[in-house]
Homo-oligomer: A and B are copies of this chain.
């Protein structure tokens, strides 16, 4: 059974009548994402992406996400641009869901990016941070330290996944929440800058899926990126990729001493954040999801690795 919200051709035609983007030539549901229902839409004027927002995306956050994509696209970030209806709305209702049409971004996500891909993506991340300056809306990071304890309390049976996982979570949680750095340079971060969300055409980089974007420390985004781009499948940290990421990022947006000093704890925190959500999703699978839940053990391994790190140099600084 799919949670997938279906959209008929007739519903699509009624929707498109509100836009000035041409006649539909192709329309296909995309098996991507666990948050939303997504459709590839080709018209005689171009290629688009229709998203119906399902329950996991809070309706009050949509103006932030859509406005951010528009803000970034206007400042040269390669990302989907929300398309407006004839009367100026980028958010519409379709089949009782909030929905939006954005431009379709070509490019392919890499399962195993090499060091040069890491560098190109890190430069794009720094560019995104700089382009986000001046964006008027704010959104707190609901999956930041304040969100971890309720998430941890909702997890029952983590040790059935891996022995010692409950102790790992609880031990890290208390220490990280109490010692979490403050006052770091902050602004709009992507907060889910995984290889899945970065599309390459050659070395040109596009960014998608802004549905975790929020205001937080820039270097936390860098930590999320290092965690998701620089470990090998066997769990080892690839310091060459780490150097590529950090050097390319710093070349576009210099890191302060405070950011460098905070990196190890932010690596641990971002590993814990994904460990928590993956563990919860693993233990509470959505029978309607179109994709398999991701293995939380990838992140318990990373967290254990970070627990032994003393200095940002060990990440390739």
Contacts and interface: CB of A to CB of B under 8 A. Distances in A.
Nearest to A291: B2
A289 to B, nearest CB: 8
A2 B25 contact: no
Nearest to A8: B111
B108 A26 contact: yes
Q: Is the interface of A mostly helix, strand, loop or mixed?
A: loop
Interface residues of A, number: 33
A28 B25 contact: no
A4 B290 contact: yes
A24 B200 CA distance: 10
Interface string A80-113: 0000000000000000000000001011111110
A112 to B, nearest CB: 6
A162 interface: no
Contacts of A108: 9, 12, 24-27
A110 B12 CA distance: 10
B40 A28 contact: yes
Contacts of A24: 108
Contacts of A57: none
Contacts of A31: 2, 4, 28-31, 290
A24 B4 CA distance: 27
A28 B30 CA distance: 7
A40 to B, nearest CB: 6
Nearest to A104: B26
13 contacts: A1-B292, A2-B291, A4-B31, A4-B291, A8-B111, A25-B106, A26-B104, A26-B107, A29-B32, A30-B40, A40-B40, A287-B287, A290-B290
